[in-house]
Amino acid sequence: GKEIRKCFIPEDGCLFFSADYSQIELRIMAHLSGDENMMEAFREGHDIHRATAAKIWHEDIDKVTDAQRKKAKQANFGIIYGITTYGLAQRMGIPNGEARELIQDYFHTFPKVKAYMEQAKETARAKGYAETLFHRRRYLPDINSRNATVRGFAERNAINAPIQGSAADIIKVAMIRICQKFQSERLKSKMILQVHDELNFSVYPDEREKVSQIVIDEMEKAYTMKVPLRVDSGWGSNWLEAH
């Protein structure tokens, strides 16, 4: 699939520049939940998946194995969206018992994440909708359904929508400010593509430093949270090389 990225190229004589948020959804979860362990990992600049593994398995962070990191990564992205024991077991190819224990250890490590998830469901039940950091709403008419399967889907959306919705809001703010800055600085370079938490640009070589500075600065300052927003970036002759 990545090979298809070679098809995305800048204008003639330009470079392809890619900038994407580093683990923005987990950072938003840290902000919304206020969990000290999760916030500490981001504030210290640790690899969040390695830091999660270290806390779950009580290891020094530099002794965490790649296998442990991989499990922690799957736990990070699965558990915050309400994945079931069975779902995590299937995704990771492990027995249900091991998945159940991993989820329990995860919530023991990040207790305020669990509290946030329960609160998100309660708030949605009371209001009938979930809300992003910018107060954009996702209505959830099935949140009080008597059908457990239908209700469970709405409950997962109650947890998911504020996180993914806020990530979408933040990158839109960044896009607007970058566009305004390009115009005020009279730059010829252009923003050409947004993909989830990533922005891509066609950049004239003589504007390379200016574009990089503006893009990273505006993306990292788009919204102030309890943990810093961080951006990874790269250059190339096409999207594959740059990302």
pLDDT (tens digit per residue) in 88-136? 888 878 888 888 888 888 888 889 999 999 999 999 999 999 999 999 9
pLDDT higher than 80, residue 82: no
pLDDT (tens digit per residue) in 222-235? 999 999 999 999 99
**What pLDDT, on a 0 to 100 scale, did the predictor assign at position 46?**
84
Count Cα neighbours of 9 within 13 Å in the Cβ-side half-sphere.
Answer: 7
pTM of structure:
0.90
pLDDT, average across residues 3-30: 95
pLDDT higher than 90, residue 203: yes
Q: In percent, how much of the chain has pLDDT > 70?
A: 100
Mean pLDDT, the chain, whole residue set: 93
CA atoms of 107 and 29, how far apart (whole Å) = 13
pLDDT higher than 90, residue 182: yes
In Å, what is the CA distance from 52 to each residue of 41, 74, 212, 225? 8, 11, 31, 20
CA atoms of 103 and 88, how far apart (whole Å) = 9
One-letter amino acid identity for 204? Y
More confident residue, 82 or 5: 5
pLDDT higher than 80, residue 77: yes
Asked if 14 and 235 touch (Cβ cutoff 8 Å), the reply is: no
pLDDT, average across residues 191-205: 97
As annotated, the active-site residues are 20
**What pLDDT, on a 0 to 100 scale, did the predictor assign at position 119?**
95
